[in-house]
Amino acid sequence: QLQLQESGPGLVKPSETLSLTCTVSGGSISSSSYFWGWIRQPPGKGVEWIGSIYYSGTTYYNPSLKSRLTMSVDTSKNQFSLKLSSVTAADTAVYYCATVTQVRMGLNWFDPWGQGTLVTVSS
């Protein structure tokens, strides 16, 4: 069964770039069955979709983050990554990676999720 694990710095300075990697085990990131997604959750708040990527590089980004967001896939390492530029304190959150089953636009779900990693934006 698929397992996902996030990794990256826990502290990022304001105006810098947040970079996270998700390592997939138990299956291939090149599977045609899945997209790969990022979701975040500010402390004490609800969850927010960041974006999703297919192994071929096709991406879907949250329009509210699109100008600052870059997602990529490294099939040789079975990993996918997130870069969010020009961060502020509002980007402080637990960041989760997840497997996305997307049958078609409008029919998708997130399962499983990684355990999450807290990223704090502070000087």
Task: Give min distance, CB of 49 to other proteins, in A.
Answer: 4
Q: Cα(80)–Cα(53) distance, rounded to whole angstroms?
A: 8
Among candidate residues 94, 92, 87, 90, the one with its CA nearest the CA of residue 69:
87
Q: Which is nearer to other proteins, 16 or 113 (CB)?
A: 113
Residues forming the site for other proteins (CB under 8 A): 39, 46-49, 52, 60, 62-64, 96, 101, 105-116
Is 31 in a helix, a strand, or coil?
coil
Q: Indicate the residue among 6 and 91 with the shorter CB distance to other proteins.
A: 6
Query: Smallest distance from the beta carbon of 96 to other proteins, in angstroms?
Result: 6
Collapsing DSSP states into helix, strand and coil, what is residue 22?
strand
